[in-house]
Amino acid sequence: MAEEKTYLELSEDAGVSHKFYEVVVDDTKMTIRYGRIGDSGQTSTKVFASNDLAKKEAAKKIKEKKNKGYEEAVMGVRKKRSITRRVVQSERSTAKQSPVLWKFNTGRNAFGIFINDKEAWVGNESGDIYVLDHSGKVLNQYKLPDGVKAIVADGEWIYAGCDDGNVYDLTGKIPRIAYEISENVDIYWIDVNNALLGVSDAGGTVMIANHEDEDLWERKSNGSGGWMVRCDQDYIYHGHSGGVTAYHGWNQPVVKWNTSLPSSVLFGWQERDHVYAGCTNSRVYEVYKQDGKITMEYKCDNAVFSCATSPDGEYVFAGDNYSSVYCFKRDGSRLWKLGSGCGSPLSMQYHKDKVYIVTTDGSLACIDGSEEAIKAAEAGTVPQIIDIKAPTKIIAVSNSIEPDDVLASSLSTLSGVIITCVQEGEKLRMKPIGEISECSIGATTITASSTQYHTDWHIQFPKNLRENGAFYLVDEVKESTTSSFYRSKGNIRKIKF
């Protein structure tokens, strides 16, 4: 039996989209391949009881994609969209060595970093993401389809912005696509606040998407580039070649203020009352959130690639393109400058007397920022660096974004929340059914006798996994802190009857 192949490409917005979707039916096997045009993409395969069932499922998938704007195309005609890689020139520091406790080399330039009380996350330009404990032990590993631009946290959720144009949710055993960014947006940086996503791009544009992965707005700031976007409850702060712009309002934005800076912004950080912009002119500027006034500047010796602060800006840290790390007091006085020993810091974060950096040589390094350790380093005494190698075996990979299957008959042995997908107008929305313990399982339906959830609220859930009438099991469903919707967290399994 000859295989049947259908190849589609997204053809909206005058050709700026660059996604493909291929469905192949070979006897009882259906294989789907998808991704960005020019790449090999990701593949998932399902086996059916008959060829007719495989063809029926394939036809449904093709129809869904065509409804979203995909059209049949000839493979190879359209070319791969270019990606902006941050070109950095890193020189060796002439300062004394900083007290690096350990370093972990990922093998490629690393931009993404996030540190919490339990873990340290790092992502590099190869799409590798590693999760380590605070001693440098590797706990987990993910593989994304393209380079990682940023890793950010939004409460319990951790997201990675990727060069394939997607933002991934990393709270489950494999990454899930949380947001599909417009193909004409070349991601530089991301931030997420209560499921509202901010993205800055290569052209100096900032765009906002909501928890349903629907674009709310985009604006071009007074500059090009845009390596800084930071979001709080009410405002979006965008750093670009012309300075920093603050937008007020998630739905109908207005420019609250625009602060010009003498050079381009290469990195941004925020605390409760201020944002901090690291610039090419060797300065970190502290900008007051209320009115955009520059309240302090911190003078480094070379272009600032990254910056961070201790809580509420008591100490300000910076990393330059000569592989040096700086620490300043809040009043602007420099306390120390020391060499990283592992390249220039492209991102950084302070956490409990430690300064964590990710660098041009692909390292995640943990620097002892305590007063005693710094004094010893300035006197020439530093600890023996623990050099940790990346594991050769991948622990967890995103080979597929399809959910795991689970039989309805086995639900009584599991835990979690059952949710369903319903059609509302032209949109597919997710609604809660209830905890497994509250649910009754029928031949093709699931009902709950009582529920702790608002059944009319929507649930944040990957768009690419939504299927009208289907039921899913998720680890958790949590209420948003400021709006009337829920957020799914953790693993996703599709329920089969």
Q: With bands split at pLDDT 50, 70 and 90, how would you rate the model's confidence at 16? A: very low
Average pLDDT (203-226) is 89
Give the pLDDT confidence score for residue 183 in this predicted structure.
58
Q: Please state, in angstroms and rounded to a whole number, the distance separating the CA atoms of residues 347 and 339.
A: 15
Give the pLDDT confidence score for residue 13 in this predicted structure.
46
Asked if 299 and 334 touch (Cβ cutoff 8 Å), the reply is yes
For the ranges 67-76, 282-291, 313-322, 367-376, the lowest mean pLDDT is seen at: 67-76
Residue 320 tokens, joined? 């330059």
At residue 401, does pLDDT exceed 70? no
Closest CA to 416 of 480, 485, 478: 478
Q: With bands split at pLDDT 50, 70 and 90, how would you rate the model's confidence at 395? A: low
* Cα 176 to the center of its chain, rounded Å: 11
At residue 81, does pLDDT exceed 70? no
Q: Please state, in angstroms and rounded to a whole number, the distance separating the CA atoms of residues 145 and 39.
A: 9
Average pLDDT (367-387) is 95
At residue 12, does pLDDT exceed 80? no
At residue 75, does pLDDT exceed 90? no
Q: What is the DSSP letter of 373?
A: H
Residue 192 tokens, joined? 């997420």
| Homologous superfamily (CATH) for 1-78 | WGR domain (2.20.140.10)
Query: What are all long-range contacts of 250-258, with beta carbons under 8 Å and residues at least 24 apart?
Result: 250/196, 250/208, 250/210, 250/216, 251/216, 251/217, 252/217, 253/208, 253/217, 253/219, 256/292, 257/291, 257/292, 258/221, 258/222, 258/292
Share above pLDDT 70 across residues of the chain, in percent, rounded to a whole number: 92
Give the pLDDT confidence score for residue 68 in this predicted structure.
76
Rg (CA), the chain: 24
At residue 415, does pLDDT exceed 60? yes
Q: Report the topology of domain 100-389.
A: Methylamine Dehydrogenase; Chain H (2.130.10)
Better-predicted residue by pLDDT, 465 or 257: 257
In terms of average pLDDT, the best of 29-43, 134-148, 172-186, 230-244 is 230-244
At residue 175, does pLDDT exceed 50? yes
Mode of pairing for the β-strands spanning 386-389 and 100-105: parallel
Give the pLDDT confidence score for residue 390 in this predicted structure.
84
At residue 80, does pLDDT exceed 70? no
Give the pLDDT confidence score for residue 86 in this predicted structure.
60
**Cβ atoms within 10 Å, residue 395:** 14
Average pLDDT (223-227) is 84
Give the pLDDT confidence score for residue 73 in this predicted structure.
87
Average pLDDT (454-477) is 92
Report the chain's mean pLDDT, rounded to a whole number: 89
Better-predicted residue by pLDDT, 142 or 16: 142
Share above pLDDT 90 across residues of the chain, in percent, rounded to a whole number: 67
Q: With bands split at pLDDT 50, 70 and 90, how would you rate the model's confidence at 458? A: very high
The overall longest dimension of the chain from CA atoms, in Å, is 76
Q: Please state, in angstroms and rounded to a whole number, the distance separating the CA atoms of residues 306 and 113.
A: 11
Tell me the CB-side half-sphere exposure of residue 49, using CA atoms within 13 A: 0
In terms of average pLDDT, the best of 199-213, 222-236, 343-357 is 343-357
How far, CA to CA in Å, does 160 sit from each of 26, 116, 153, 199, 483? 35, 15, 9, 12, 23
At residue 343, does pLDDT exceed 60? yes
Q: Please state, in angstroms and rounded to a whole number, the distance separating the CA atoms of residues 62 and 65.
A: 5
* Cα 314 to the center of its chain, rounded Å: 28
Average pLDDT (426-430) is 91
Give the pLDDT confidence score for residue 14 in this predicted structure.
39
Give the pLDDT confidence score for residue 391 in this predicted structure.
82
Q: With bands split at pLDDT 50, 70 and 90, how would you rate the model's confidence at 85? A: low
Q: Please state, in angstroms and rounded to a whole number, the distance separating the CA atoms of residues 134 and 357.
A: 13
Average pLDDT (444-463) is 90
Give the pLDDT confidence score for residue 38 in this predicted structure.
74
- Can you tell me which residue has the tokens 């409804």? 67
Give the pLDDT confidence score for residue 399 in this predicted structure.
45
- Can you tell me which residue has the tokens 């201020």? 274
Give the pLDDT confidence score for residue 487 in this predicted structure.
95
Asked if 213 and 179 touch (Cβ cutoff 8 Å), the reply is yes
At residue 184, does pLDDT exceed 90? no
Give the pLDDT confidence score for residue 93 in this predicted structure.
82
Better-predicted residue by pLDDT, 20 or 40: 20
Give the pLDDT confidence score for residue 469 in this predicted structure.
93
CA angle 212, 32, 84 (to 5 degrees): 60
At residue 398, does pLDDT exceed 70? no
Give the pLDDT confidence score for residue 246 in this predicted structure.
97
Average pLDDT (89-106) is 89
**Cβ atoms within 10 Å, residue 133:** 11
Q: With bands split at pLDDT 50, 70 and 90, how would you rate the model's confidence at 15? A: very low
31-55 residue pLDDT tens: 998 877 777 777 788 888 899 999 9
Q: With bands split at pLDDT 50, 70 and 90, how would you rate the model's confidence at 102? A: very high
For the ranges 82-86, 220-224, 329-333, 434-438, the lowest mean pLDDT is seen at: 82-86
Phi-psi region of 490 (alpha: psi -120 to 50; beta: other; left: phi over 0): left
Q: Parse the chain into domains and list their residue ranges.
A: 1-78, 100-389, 402-497
Give the pLDDT confidence score for residue 165 in this predicted structure.
83
Dump strand ranges (E) for 18-172: 19-26, 29-36, 42-47, 70-72, 100-105, 110-115, 120-124, 128-132, 138-143, 148-154, 157-162, 166-169
Asked if 23 and 30 touch (Cβ cutoff 8 Å), the reply is yes
Read off the pTM: 0.83
